[in-house]
Chain A
Amino acid sequence: MKLVHAVNDMSFRKKIMILFALIGIVPLIITFFVSYNEIRQLVVNGQDYAENQNYEQTLSTLAKKFSHLEELSAMIIVNKDMNTILSMKPDDMKIPEQMAAFNSMVAYTQMMETNSEFDHIVYFVDDKFIVTGTDTLFRKLSAVRNTDWGNKVYASNGASTWVIRQENNLDSTERYLALGRLLWNPRDYMDPAGIVTLNVDLKQIQQSLIKSDPLQFVYVESEDGELITSSGEQELAFMRLPKPIDSKGKFTTVQLDSGTYLARGQKIGDTNLYLMSVISHAAASDALLSIRNQMLTVYLVVCIILLVFIFPVARSITRRIFLLMNKMSQVRQGRLNQLDIEPRKDEVGQLISSYNYMINSVQELMQEQFKLGQEKNEAELRALQSQINPHFLYNTLDMINWMAQRDERDNIQQVVYALSDYYKLILNKGEDFVSLRDEVRLSEIYMEIQRKRFRNRIQLETELAEETLDCLIPKITLQPLVENAILHGITEKPGGVGVIKLRGSIELGRLHIAVEDDGIGFQASNGDNRKHRGSGYGVKNIEKRLALYYGQPTDLNFHTPEAGGTIVSFDVPIVRRERMDGGEG
C-alpha cells in the first residue's frame, strides 16, 4: 500500500522514466534470459555434437587403420613364402632355400611397408634360420619368449593383439604400437612357428588423437590398462580413468580425484584397444561462461544506452509540464506570468495554451479591478481632501471677516494673496499627490495666513533633508497637523507664542516626517491623545488618506518630549515622481 502511495506520489518525470525503463529494459532482461538459455542449449548441444563427432572421427580413423593393418597381417599369414618358411625346420632347409624364401618375403614386406599406415614389419621366427638377426627384418623368436608383449600375443592364441613393443637402438629406445599375430605352422595349426608384428609409430597414433577442446584429454589404452599413447603428458596424472570404460556411445559423467569430468570410451573396432576421451566440466562451462559474459556485456551496454536515452526523452516530455507547474506555483505566489514557449498542438501544448489564456484573462480582470480600486481610492481620497478644504476655507474666511471688521485691509490683502497661493498650489495640475517640497510650501502659505491671525506669535521652521523634498505624499497632509499644532498646542498655552518645526528625513528606506510644536503638549494618560489635538477628525482623515495612498495602514504617532510640546510623526514608503509615473504609466 505504501508502495502504491509512493508510486502515486512520485513525480511525473520519474514515473515516465520508470515506465520507459520498464518498457525498454524488462523485455531486454527477458530476452537475455530466454536467449541465453537457448544459446546455452545450442552450445551444450554443439559441444556434445562436436565432442562426439570428434570422438567418432578419431575412433573411425583408428578403427579403419587398425582394421586395415589386421588385413595386412592376415595377408602375411597366408603368404606362400611365409608358409614355406613356417612349415620348414631350419635344419631341413638349406641356406639357398632359406635365402630364396626369405628374400621373397623381404621383397613382399618392402612392398607392404610402402603403406604409410605403419612404420615397419618385424618377423620373429626360429632362431636357427640363417637370416635372423637382432635388429633386422627377421629376428629370433627366442627373444620374444620372456617379453610382456610376446606373452600377450601368445595368450591371444592367434587373434590380433595390439601391444607396446620397444626396440632398443644404440643410443635410444623406440616404442611402437604393434599388431602382433602368431604365425602358425601350416602343417600343424597348433604349432605357433613365429610372430609377425606390424609396428606403428606412436607419434602417428598420437597425431590421430584430435581434441575438440584444449582442455580435452584423449588417449588410447589396452583393455588391460596399458597406456598406448595420449594427447598430452601432463593430463595423464589427473585425467586418466582408472581403467578403460565403454560408455555406450556417449559422454558420461565420471568422478576422479581431481574433479568431475565427462568421459567417453569405446573399443576401437575389434581390437583390444580403447579410445578414451575425457573433458573437464570446466572446459564445457568456460565456453558458456564466455558466451554469458559476452551477452551480459552487450545487454548491459544496451541497457545503459537505453537509460541514457530515456532520461532526455522523459525530460523532453515532462519539461513543459514542469514549466507549467512552476508557472502555476508562481500564480499561488501572486505572479501571473504566461508560459512563453513554442506552441505545440499536443495535449500539453493545449494545456499550456489554456493556461496562458487563463492567466491573460486573470491579468485583465485584475487590472480592471486594480483600476476600479484605484478609482475608488482616489475618490475616497478626494472626498477626504474635500472634507479638509472647506474647514480651512471656513476658518480663513472667518479670519478675513474678522480683519474686515477691524478694517485691516492690508492684512486682508495679504491673506487673500496667501489664500490665492494656497489654492493655486492645491489646485495646481489637479493632482492629489505633491512633493514634500510643495506640501511644506503649502504649510508655509498656511502659516503666513495664520501669522496674520495670531500677530506673528507663531513661527514655522523647517528642517528637511534634501533627499526628502522629492518624495511624494498626499496633499494637505502636513497643513492639518500644523493647524492642530497652532490651535491645540501653542494657542492653548499662556501667551500663545510658539514655534512649529517640520522635520523630514529618510531612515531605513522610509520617509520620516515629524511636526513638532512647543505648545502645551498632550496628556496620554487615557491613551486618547486625539482629544487634545483638535477634533480628531483631521487626524483620522490623514491616517485614512495615508493608508489609501500607500496601500498600508499608517498611524500618526503623538508624544510629548520632556521639554514640552508635542511631536506628531509618521513614516511612509518612499514614493517619487518616477515611480508614480511608472505606476501610472
Chain B
Amino acid sequence: MTVWYRKITTMAIMISLLTVTACSSSGSTSSGESADHSEELSDTAQSASVIHLKAITMGKEPASGMDEFYKQLDALTIKDFGATLRFDFIPWGEEKSIIGRAIVTKAYDFYVGGFWTDFKDYASKNAFVDLVPLLDQVPKLVEHYGNVLDRVKINGKLYGLPTFGKPAAGSYGVLYREDLRKQWGLPAIHDFSSLEQYLYKAKDEYSDTPMINDKRFGDVLWDILTGGKYYTVVQDYAVAAIAEPYKAINKYETPEYKQMVEIARKWYRDGVVDHDILASQNNETAKTVELMKANKKPLEFSNHFGAVSFGYIDVLNQLYPEQQFGWFDIKFDLYPQTVFMPKISVETSSMISIGSNSKYPETALKLLEKAHTDPRYYVLLQYGVEGEHYKLIDNAVSFEGIAEENRKPYWTGLADGYLDLPVKYPDQWQEIVNRLQYDEGPKLAMKNGIDPYEGFVFDTAPVSAQLERMESKKVQFIQPLAAGVSDDIDNDLSRARQELKEAGIDDYMRELQSQLDKFAAAR
C-alpha cells in the first residue's frame, strides 16, 4: 500500500512539476536559446583566438571605468594584432616594491620602470625581453626612435623602450602658491634663500601641516644646493664636478653633503620637515595632493614638472580658481647651464619593458610600435577616451570639467614628445609651461647641447653584491641623515660613510670610474 501510494504520489508530483516548469518557463523559445547559445559559442571561439596582454602602470583607474576605453582599444588591437591589452593600475607610493613584486611574480607582459625602480637590476637579471633581435619586425619604431634606442642598451641589449622627449626644460622643482607669496610679501623665489623664506613662512601659516613630508626631499635639496657644482653621475651615490664630469666622486664624501644634511636637520628641527617623515611611504606625492586639495598645504617641495602639470594644476584650479601657482625649477631657474637636450638613458628615463615571461613578445613589441607611431593608439593610450577622460579644445587636451577621479593616468613610460598633444592649462600655468617647454626651455636645451653623460650606462653587474648591501645601508644610515633626523651629524655621517665602505662603495666607485673612463675615452 505504501509503495503504491509513493508511486502514485511521485508520478503526480512529476506531472505537477513538469506542468509548473512548463508554465514558469513560458516565454523563452527554444529558437531564441539556440541563437543565444550559438552566439556564445561564436564569442568563445573568437576569444579563444585573441591574445590577451596585460600591463602594469601607475596611478588610479578612472572612477568612471574603462569600458569605453577598452572597447576603443580592442577595436584597434584586435583588428591589427588579434590581441587585447588590459591595464592594472597601482597607486604611487610604494611603486618600487609593487613593481618589483610584479616582475618577480611574472604577472604581466608589460612593465614600467626606470631610475625610480630597480630597472637596471632587473634587466641585468633577464627579467625583460631583449628587443634587439625583434627590431627588424618593427621598422617604423626603429625609424621613429632613430639612434636613441642605442642609448638605453645595456651591454648591447635593449630591455625596454624609453620615454621620448623633445628638447625642453622642466625637471624637478618646487610647486608653490604664487598668490600667497605675494600676499605674504615675500620675494620671488629665485634661489635657495628665497625658497627657504617661503618654506618657513608657509610653515608658520600652516602650522598643522609639515611642508615637507616626502623622505626623498634630500635629493631635491642636494640638487638645489649643488646643482651648479656637481652633475649627478649615478643617482644616490656618485656625482662629478661640472668641471670634471668624468671623475666620479662619492656623494657622501663631499663637504656639500654634510651641509645639505645640516640644512635638512635644521628644517626637521624647525618643523618644516614632518617629524614622522621616516615613517612615511617612499613616495608621498599622493598625500601632498590631498593636503593641497584640502587647502592645508601651499607647496609641493619635490616633484617633477610634468607630474605637477598633470596631477596638480587642473585639480587645484577646479577647486580653487583663485589660487595661483609658481614653479621653481632647479635646473631652469637655478642652474640653466645644466639644461641639456633630453637625456635618454636607463639612469634617467622611464621605460616600458616586455617581461621575459610574456608568451607574445613580438605582438607586444608591435603594439608598442603602434603606440609610438600611430596617433590613434598614442592619444587613446595616453589621454583615454575623449569626452570621458579628457576634452579636446582647439586641438589641445583639456581637463576642464573632467572630475579628477575620472581622468585616466598616462601609460607610465609611454610619453613621446613627438606625439603628445598640447595640453591646455589655466592661463597663468600655461605661461610657465610655454616658457619651459615651448619657448625658452627648448632654446636653452639646444644651446647647451647634449648631456655629458648621454649614452652612458653604468653596468652594475660587476658590483651587484656591493650595490645590494649599499642599498640596505643607504636606507639604514643615509635616509635618516638625508631627512634631517640626526642628533649628531658628524658621528652619524661618519658611521654612514663607514657602513657604505664596508658595504663596498669603494668597489662600486672604482667600477664606475672605470666605466666612465671608457665612456669618456670613447666619447
- Chain A residues near B94: list those with CB within 8 A: 110
- The answer to the question of A365 belonging to the interface, with a C-beta cut-off of 8 Å to chain B, is no
Task: Fill in one digit per residue for A234-265: 1 if any B CB lies within 8 Å of its CB, else 0.
Answer: 00000000000000000000000000000000
The SS class assigned to the B binding surface is helix
Cβ-defined partner of B13 (8 Å) among A39, A110, A131, A297 = A39
B92-110 residues with Cβ-Cβ distance < 8 A to A are 94, 97, 101
Task: Fill in one digit per residue for A104-143: 1 if any B CB lies within 8 Å of its CB, else 0.
Answer: 0001001100100000000000000011111111110000
Given contacts A31-B12, A39-B13, contact A298 B495 (CB under 8 A): no
- The answer to the question of A291 belonging to the interface, with a C-beta cut-off of 8 Å to chain B, is yes
Nearest A residue (CB) for B98: A110
- Smallest beta-carbon distance B417→chain A, Å: 35
In the docked arrangement, what's the CA distance between A480 and B8, Å?
94
On whether the beta carbons of B20 and A298 are closer than 8 Å, the reply is yes
Task: Fill in one digit per residue for B9-36: 1 if any A CB lies within 8 Å of its CB, else 0.
Answer: 1001101110110011000000000000
Task: Fill in one digit per residue for B258-297: 1 if any A CB lies within 8 Å of its CB, else 0.
Answer: 0000000000000000101011110000010011011010
- The answer to the question of B477 belonging to the interface, with a C-beta cut-off of 8 Å to chain A, is yes
Task: Fill in one digit per residue for A32-56: 1 if any B CB lies within 8 Å of its CB, else 0.
Answer: 1011101100100000000000000
Cβ-defined partner of A38 (8 Å) among B9, B20, B485, B496 = B9
Cβ-defined partner of A134 (8 Å) among B17, B276, B291 = B276
On whether the beta carbons of B280 and A171 are closer than 8 Å, the reply is no
Cβ-defined partner of B475 (8 Å) among A34, A38, A99 = A99
On whether the beta carbons of B492 and A95 are closer than 8 Å, the reply is yes
- The answer to the question of B480 belonging to the interface, with a C-beta cut-off of 8 Å to chain A, is yes
Cβ-defined partner of A39 (8 Å) among B16, B274, B499 = B16
On whether the beta carbons of A136 and B12 are closer than 8 Å, the reply is no
- The answer to the question of A57 belonging to the interface, with a C-beta cut-off of 8 Å to chain B, is no
On whether the beta carbons of A171 and B480 are closer than 8 Å, the reply is no
In the docked arrangement, what's the CA distance between A390 and B477, Å?
177
- Size class of the A contact interface (CB-based, 8 Å): 35 or more
- Chain B residues near A169: list those with CB within 8 A: 290
- The answer to the question of A341 belonging to the interface, with a C-beta cut-off of 8 Å to chain B, is no
On whether the beta carbons of B97 and A107 are closer than 8 Å, the reply is yes
- Smallest beta-carbon distance A304→chain B, Å: 14
In the docked arrangement, what's the CA distance between A7 and B157, Å?
107
- Smallest beta-carbon distance A30→chain B, Å: 9
- The answer to the question of B117 belonging to the interface, with a C-beta cut-off of 8 Å to chain A, is no
On whether the beta carbons of A170 and B291 are closer than 8 Å, the reply is yes
Nearest B residue (CB) for A129: B279
- The answer to the question of B486 belonging to the interface, with a C-beta cut-off of 8 Å to chain A, is yes
On whether the beta carbons of A110 and B97 are closer than 8 Å, the reply is yes
- Smallest beta-carbon distance B92→chain A, Å: 15
On whether the beta carbons of B485 and A95 are closer than 8 Å, the reply is yes
- Chain B residues near A110: list those with CB within 8 A: 94, 97, 101
In the docked arrangement, what's the CA distance between A95 and B484, Å?
12
In the docked arrangement, what's the CA distance between A170 and B291, Å?
7
On whether the beta carbons of A170 and B290 are closer than 8 Å, the reply is yes
- Chain A residues near B291: list those with CB within 8 A: 170
In the docked arrangement, what's the CA distance between A137 and B220, Å?
25
- Chain B residues near A34: list those with CB within 8 A: 8-9, 12-13
On whether the beta carbons of A103 and B476 are closer than 8 Å, the reply is yes
Nearest B residue (CB) for A171: B294
Given contacts A39-B17, A96-B495, A169-B290, contact A137 B279 (CB under 8 A): yes
- The answer to the question of B479 belonging to the interface, with a C-beta cut-off of 8 Å to chain A, is yes
- The answer to the question of A100 belonging to the interface, with a C-beta cut-off of 8 Å to chain B, is yes
Nearest B residue (CB) for A101: B476
Task: Fill in one digit per residue for B484-504: 1 if any A CB lies within 8 Å of its CB, else 0.
Answer: 011000001001100100000
Cβ-defined partner of A171 (8 Å) among B19, B276, B290, B496 = B290
Nearest B residue (CB) for A28: B12
- Chain B residues near A32: list those with CB within 8 A: 16
Task: Fill in one digit per residue for A198-242: 1 if any B CB lies within 8 Å of its CB, else 0.
Answer: 000000000000000000000000000000000000000000000
In the docked arrangement, what's the CA distance between A135 and B290, Å?
13
- Chain B residues near A135: list those with CB within 8 A: 287
A81-98 residues with Cβ-Cβ distance < 8 A to B are 95-97
In the docked arrangement, what's the CA distance between A171 and B17, Å?
57
In the docked arrangement, what's the CA distance between A156 and B279, Å?
28
- Chain B residues near A36: list those with CB within 8 A: 16
- The answer to the question of A294 belonging to the interface, with a C-beta cut-off of 8 Å to chain B, is yes
- Chain A residues near B480: list those with CB within 8 A: 95-96, 99, 130
Cβ-defined partner of B485 (8 Å) among A35, A130, A138, A139 = A130
Task: Fill in one digit per residue for B289-323: 1 if any A CB lies within 8 Å of its CB, else 0.
Answer: 01101101000000000000000000000000000
- Chain A residues near B23: list those with CB within 8 A: 294, 297-298
On whether the beta carbons of B279 and A114 are closer than 8 Å, the reply is no
- Chain A residues near B477: list those with CB within 8 A: 96, 99
Nearest B residue (CB) for A113: B94
Cβ-defined partner of A35 (8 Å) among B16, B97, B287 = B16
In the docked arrangement, what's the CA distance between A130 and B20, Å?
72
In the docked arrangement, what's the CA distance between A169 and B290, Å?
9
- The answer to the question of A397 belonging to the interface, with a C-beta cut-off of 8 Å to chain B, is no
Given contacts A110-B94, A132-B279, A136-B280, contact A291 B20 (CB under 8 A): yes
On whether the beta carbons of A294 and B12 are closer than 8 Å, the reply is no
Given contacts A31-B12, A137-B279, A298-B23, contact A99 B479 (CB under 8 A): yes
- The answer to the question of A384 belonging to the interface, with a C-beta cut-off of 8 Å to chain B, is no
- The answer to the question of A321 belonging to the interface, with a C-beta cut-off of 8 Å to chain B, is no
On whether the beta carbons of A138 and B476 are closer than 8 Å, the reply is no
Nearest A residue (CB) for B475: A103
B190-208 residues with Cβ-Cβ distance < 8 A to A are none
- Chain A residues near B16: list those with CB within 8 A: 31-32, 35-36, 39, 295, 298
Q: List 7 A-B contacts (CB under 8 A).
A: A35-B9, A35-B15, A39-B13, A99-B479, A103-B476, A135-B287, A170-B294
What 4 A-B pairs are tightest by C-beta distance, nearest first? A133-B276, A133-B279, A136-B279, A35-B16
Given A170-B291, A298-B20, list of 16 further CB < 8 A pairs?
A32-B16, A35-B15, A95-B278, A95-B480, A95-B492, A96-B492, A96-B496, A110-B97, A111-B101, A131-B279, A135-B287, A170-B294, A294-B23, A298-B16, A298-B19, A298-B23
